[in-house]
Amino acid sequence: MTQSIPFSLRLYEAAAAALSSLAPAWLRYRVRLGKEDPRRWPERLGQASLARPPGRLVWLHGVSVGESLSLLPLVARLREERPDVAILVTSGTVASAELLEARLGGRALHQYAPLDTPGAVARFLDAWKPELGVFVESELWPNLILDARRRGVRLALISARLSDASAASWRRAPRAAQALLGAFDLILARDEAAARRFASLGGRVAGLTDLKFGSPALPFDPVALTVAREAVDGRSVLLAASTHEGEDALILDAYRDAYRNDNALLIIAPRHPVRGEAIEALARDRGLSVARRSTGGRLGETAVYVADTVGELGLWYRLADLAVIGGSLLPDVAGGHNPLEPARLGCPFISGPHVRDWPVYGALEAAAATRLATADHLRGWFSRAIAGPSTLAHMARRAEAFAAAGDAAAGQTADHILGLLAL
């Protein structure tokens, strides 16, 4: 296969090798920024921190929180039907590692994905020797993919997505695109548009699957939910979920205008909990009483509660009368976040208009299961939820039914993966 690698990919490999000596210093710098795990950053150099179990091993990879969590149903199915096969899950962010540690429950091992340098990739593959590698969404790392293929690892790209911009970039290097996509034994695109883009680059798309469907409902602590409901004491609960910088001020302004006489509680759960202190200051600047979960603040005694913790969205969605999903109110912030999480829990939700990374919003809105609203309309939605949460119940039921139907169909993805494992 070495002879068939196009010049552009050989050049990429050589450049990555030349820069690899700088990788340790770069990773230590990222540790200081809080973007790498201070204990486990050598894993990014391909140095395994756990022992490989004996026997066959399947390797699943999702870069960040959403992609990684979408693998959990596949982990459960593999563990149920092939208990003889060990499972390794890799991801690339600290937040994803923390959530996977809590959610895998010993069913699989976790490591950070190696940097895409020849040395790091070789060390990773030497240590783990996977039989099958499954990549989620858009992780096309040339050295990792081609070296795995050279070693005989069967490869799958599932829930695969490719933007117009990325497809245009790959069309400028068509032989490189064909070499990478041709390394996969199975490609399942996330939607018809992605399937057409992959096919235009030479990928053999076997079907469609969206791994955002098929995930279990977000977990929660029943005791914490009981305590929270008692603390809320009948007030309307508005949730701003997975917010990003710039969005919190818009949400707080709308809430301040809708809030009257202690009749509601706004919970802000930022995408990055480190912003909790800054959000607290924004609330105080608007004359709103505020408490933070990370500092032990009490839920029932303020107008605003900053839930600056990780892994508790399942609790807040179950408590809320209306959720606003962040990453969507401003352009070029995040492209939206997962609407299926509140849908599965029967929580009414809306989002901002900037949801390019989540085409499923179009189908949800067509089914009258949600609405895309600009920041100017937030006050109206908040007032509606405070005046009578039951008015949003029909929207929530439609969203729940939509998610249930998609989750049922997503189970077929595991059949494809099990089929590759049986070869």
Going by C-alpha positions, the residue among 228, 322, 235, 305 that lies closest to residue 270 is 305
Q: Which of helix, strand or coil describes residue 410?
A: helix
Provide the β-strand partners of residue 58.
87, 132
Query: Helices 247-258 and 276-285, interaxial angle, to 10°?
Result: 40
Report yes or no: 112 and 44 within 8 Å, Cβ to Cβ. Answer: yes
Query: Residue 147 is inside which H or E element, if any?
Result: helix 142-150
Alpha carbon distance 313, 346 (integer Å)? 14
Phi, psi of 75 (to 5 degrees): -60, -45
395-422 core/surface letters (b: 16 or more CB in 10 A; e: else): bbebbbebbeebbeebeebbebbbebbe
The rounded Cα 163 to chain-centroid distance in angstroms is 17
The single residue of 13, 36, 43, 67 carrying the catalytic annotation is 67
Structure tokens at 190: 């996330």
Query: Measured between alpha carbons, how far is 111 from 96 in angstroms, rounded to an integer?
Result: 11
Pinpoint the alpha helices (H) of 201-327. 222-232, 247-258, 276-285, 313-319
Check: CB of residue 62 under 8 Å from CB of residue 84. no
- Residues 160, 194 contacting (CB under 8 angstroms): yes
In the annotation, is 67 catalytic? Answer: yes
Running DSSP on this structure, what letter comes out for residue 322? Answer: E
Residue from 311, 215, 220 nearest 269 by CA? 311
Active-site annotation, residues: 67
